């Protein structure tokens, strides 16, 4: 039997009047490719602002700061559960991570010295940091909200409501605005059903943010 690929190749050759041959590409990584090995899946990465280091974390519970120049582990700490997300502050002073147990930790980037720890409501899905005008950390969760925390102490500034699970977060460059993308999947056996008509969970919400609760609001 002629394979579907062969039939399509023959048809394309007849139409174009050309002898088409498959393009074979070697996708194997070269021997000198940069590889930063972990014991399990890496689920979140963040470069330092100067590009000199990379923080990586995931299923092995380790938060590792890699030196790009030396291609080695510069610093490493371990969390109690698998890590869901990591972030590097734009100032380069702090690294943050949140694990599957909803524990949020902030360390100094220079030494990975713990300077803040807290727990958030819901399962964590996303993480973002801002450094100006204030050092802030935003955590998006399945509780359909974003918890805004001060850095480094992780005092709660406010909760920013969202209609869906907050799957992604991004601060504006000036640190004054925060965007959160959300959605909801209702699981039924092996099938996934999106939200009912209106899809009010499937949206991006923007907030004006500050270190002061009174100044945080929807845009």
Instruction: Identify the pLDDT of residue 154.
Output: 98
DSSP structural state of residue 24? P
Residue 16 in domain: no
Residue 202 or 98, more confident: 98
CATH number, domain of 108, equals 2.130.10.10
**pLDDT tens figures, 157-188:** 999 999 999 999 999 999 999 999 998 765 43
Domain that holds residue 110: 37-218
What pTM value is reported for the model?
0.79
pLDDT on residue 201: 72
- Alpha-carbon gap, residue 70 to 178, rounded angstroms: 35
The 10s digit of each residue's pLDDT in 41-90 is: 999 999 999 999 999 999 999 999 999 999 999 999 999 999 999 999 99
Number of structural domains in the chain: 1
């Amino acid at each position: 039997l002629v394979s579907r690929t062969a039939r399509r190749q023959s048809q394309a050759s007849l139409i174009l009047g050309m002898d088409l041959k498959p393009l074979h590409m070697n996708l194997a990584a070269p021997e000198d490719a940069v590889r930063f090995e972990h014991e399990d899946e890496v689920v979140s990465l963040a470069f330092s602002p100067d590009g000199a280091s990379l923080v990586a974390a995931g299923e092995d519970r380790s938060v590792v700061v890699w030196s790009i120049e030396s291609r080695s582990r510069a610093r490493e700490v371990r969390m109690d559960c698998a890590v869901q997300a990591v972030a590097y502050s734009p100032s380069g002073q702090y690294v943050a991570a949140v694990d599957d147990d909803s524990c949020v930790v902030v360390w100094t980037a220079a030494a990975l010295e713990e300077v803040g720890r807290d727990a958030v409501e819901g399962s964590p899905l996303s993480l973002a940091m801002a450094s100006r005008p204030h050092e802030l950390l935003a955590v998006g969760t399945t509780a359909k909200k974003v918890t805004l925390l001060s850095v480094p102490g992780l005092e709660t500034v406010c909760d920013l409501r969202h209609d869906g699970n907050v799957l992604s977060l991004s601060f504006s460059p000036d640190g004054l605005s925060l965007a959160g993308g959300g959605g909801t999947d209702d699981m039924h056996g092996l099938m996934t059903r999106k939200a009912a008509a209106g899809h009010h969970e499937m949206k991006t919400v923007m907030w004006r943010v500050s270190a002061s609760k009174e100044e945080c609001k929807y845009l």
